[in-house]
């Protein structure tokens, strides 16, 4: 017997640029939104019966309409508004979910100071949130970021590892440590100051990365996660992804030059892929 398994449907890559206008100053928010619904949609998949299906185009329009009326200033608040709206207005839905990627914009500084209505994109970091709301349970909020390029030139070594006949990597006690980090942390409840928590968690992760005396990316990842949990009692766990972006020392001996850790070649591929979840014990 062949049956339908777990399923969902929704709308992805709904692009929103929202401008908040007040006297003499504007703020802009750029969001890339994904929304999805779960429920008993078996008849649609198996028989083509669409009577329980809200069109994904309507879901897209809902994002725009709510963005217009919303007073949310964070992606966490707006994602929560979205899932709540779908769950409250679609009785056939068992769970609604939303994921938002936020591109940050900051005011441009000119010769006369901060320009109140002109902006520059703030680096490569994308802020993220995923919110789910099952009809039989509480709202779950997971926030984070992706694409954070960080690098340090001290306090990084890698030695004492397993070696076999195919090992060519040399041990080092003085290397560059670089990564394009991603993080996702789970909040305990939804009554949070998401702005303050994000700033505190991000700053703590960066402080731990910079100050940790690293014997491996794995060890530094755990130290960063542990520090974030200690600094943020409002979260229950944090997952970190830290691909090891290698910087290889250039051999300048053919040119009659030494190279005491001054000149490197940065490489993106292949790279080590390290990730882990750090959580509190109950």
Could you give the residue numbers annotated as active site? 11, 56, 246
146: which strand partners? 126
What DSSP string describes 210-252?
Answer: HH--BS-HHHHHHHHHHHHHHH-TTEEEEEEE--B--EEEP--
- C-alpha 123/C-alpha 221 separation (Å) is 22
- C-alpha 22/C-alpha 93 separation (Å) is 38
Is the peptide bond between 270 and the residue preceding it cis, with omega within 30 degrees of 0?
yes
Q: Could you tell me which residues come within 8 angstroms of residue 270 by beta carbon, excluding any fewer than 6 positions away?
A: none
């Amino acid at each position: 017997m062949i049956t339908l398994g777990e399923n969902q449907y929704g709308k992805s890559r709904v692009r929103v640029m929202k401008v908040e206008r007040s006297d003499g100053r504007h703020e802009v928010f750029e969001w890339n939104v994904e929304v999805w619904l779960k429920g008993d949609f078996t008849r649609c998949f198996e028989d083509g019966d669409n009577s329980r299906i809200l069109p994904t185009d309507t879901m897209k329009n809902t994002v725009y309409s709510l963005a217009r009326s919303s007073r949310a200033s964070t992606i966490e608040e707006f994602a929560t508004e979205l899932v709540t709206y779908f769950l409250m207005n679609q009785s056939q839905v068992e769970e609604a979910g939303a994921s938002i990627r936020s591109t940050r914009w900051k005011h441009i500084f000119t010769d006369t100071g901060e320009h109140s209505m002109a902006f520059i994109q703030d680096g490569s970091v994308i802020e993220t949130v995923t919110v789910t709301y099952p009809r039989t349970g509480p709202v779950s909020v997971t926030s984070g970021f992706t694409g954070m390029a960080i690098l340090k030139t001290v306090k990084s070594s890698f030695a004492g590892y397993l070696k076999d006949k195919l090992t060519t990597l040399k041990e080092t006690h003085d290397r560059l440590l670089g990564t394009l980090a991603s993080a996702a942390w789970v909040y305990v409840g939804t009554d949070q100051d998401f702005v303050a928590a994000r700033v505190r968690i991000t700053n703590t992760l960066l402080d731990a990365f910079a100050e940790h005396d690293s014997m491996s990316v794995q060890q530094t990842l755990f130290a960063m996660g542990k520090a974030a949990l200690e600094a943020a009692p409002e979260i229950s766990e944090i997952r970190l992804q830290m691909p090891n972006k290698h910087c290889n020392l250039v051999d300048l001996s053919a040119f009659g030059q030494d190279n005491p850790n001054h000149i490197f070649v940065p490489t993106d591929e292949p790279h080590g892929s390290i990730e882990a979840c750090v959580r509190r014990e109950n």
